[in-house]
Amino acid sequence: MVREFREYHTKDAGIFVRVKRVLWEGKSDHQNILVIDTETFGKMLILDGAVMFTERDAFIYHEMLVHPAMCVHEGPRRVLIIGGGDGYALYEVLKYPVEHVTLVELDRKVVEVCCKFFDKAGAFEDERVELVIGDGTKFVETTEGKVDIIYVDSTDPVGAAKALFSEQFYRNVHEVLGDGILVAQTESPFYHIEFIQGVKSKLTAVFQNVHFYTVPIPTYPGGWWSFVFASDRYTPYEIRREPPADLKYYTHEIHRAAFVLPKWVEEKLK
């Protein structure tokens, strides 16, 4: 029976993909989890009906989440990833000689399912990795240690992920970071520009330097996604380091271009 997966980005627009096979479907304590194999995008992880990533375009999102900050910072030793239970962001971070990576993922089932069906989850076996199953907002509230880079690779700002976009969370992150770098996914400039404006005003109340950047993601709302780079010490324009040789999307030129925003977005984020 030919099946389709549909994700609605508004009440009357979205994407659909033809499904070859449903590989796993279930409900964890936190969300519905679906893994499908598709004609066009390969395997896809879907949480609560929203595409998290596909085998075909995951490299774009995860290279652009991880490598800008990694190429700006002189030499991050300790890294924190909040969310990212699929292991893709972790896999990119571990390409650098970091000493320790803590990954705080709310939902153990996401890690288990991704270890079973996707090929980056082996990153969790790296001896430098500490996997914490818990809420990232609580983690940054209570952790003693300092880290050099924090990545927020979360679901959309609803449910448990909502607090990851709050000013209090950013203040706690600022404490943990010192003069390090925060990078967070910040939704679709096409559909969520007002939300991104809100993130900007919260972050500029906490960090000296706040810069948004964008990237095309075929399977995300609007086909176009945003990230934010925030730091007291660093700006994204000081590229110091070379990226790993095996990347397919990130280059220093793409890094610089990603921070150039279209006129209307620039004006909205003034």
The structure tokens listed for 122 are 């082996």
Q: Shortest approach of ligand SAM to residue 241 CB, angstroms?
A: 23
Q: How far apart are CA 187 and CA 170, in angstroms?
A: 17
Written in H, E and C, the secondary structure of 78-110 is: EEEEEECCCCHHHHHHCCCCCCEEEEEECCHHH
Q: Shortest approach of ligand SAM to residue 28 CB, angstroms?
A: 8
Of 233, 230, 227, residue with least CA distance to 66: 227
Nearer to ligand SAM, 52 or 269 (CB): 52
- Exactly one of 29, 153, 156, 232 is catalytic; name it: 153
What number of residues does the chain have? Answer: 270
- The residue sitting closest to ligand SAM, measured at its beta carbon, is 83
Phi, psi of 178 (to 5 degrees): 65, -125
Nearer to ligand SAM, 28 or 251 (CB): 28
Q: Shortest approach of ligand SAM to residue 7 CB, angstroms?
A: 13
Task: Please indicate whether residue 153 is annotated as part of the active site.
Answer: yes
C-beta of residue 87 within 8 angstroms of C-beta of residue 115: yes
Q: For tokens 């490598």, what's the residue?
A: 67
Q: How far apart are CA 214 and CA 194, in angstroms?
A: 15
Nearer to ligand SAM, 115 or 234 (CB): 115
Nearer to ligand SAM, 76 or 84 (CB): 84
Q: Shortest approach of ligand SAM to residue 59 CB, angstroms?
A: 10
Torsion angle of the four alpha carbons 54, 58, 60, 63, in this order, in degrees rounded to the nearest 10: 170
Question: Which residues bind to ligand SAM, rule: CB under 6 A?
Answer: 30, 47, 52-53, 61, 82-86, 88-89, 104-107, 110, 135-137, 153-155, 160-161, 164
C-beta of residue 217 within 8 angstroms of C-beta of residue 65: no
Q: Shortest approach of ligand SAM to residue 159 CB, angstroms?
A: 7
Nearer to ligand SAM, 222 or 235 (CB): 222
Nearest-10 crossing angle of helices 193-204, 167-177? 50
The structure tokens listed for 111 are 């890690």
Residues assigned a catalytic role: 153
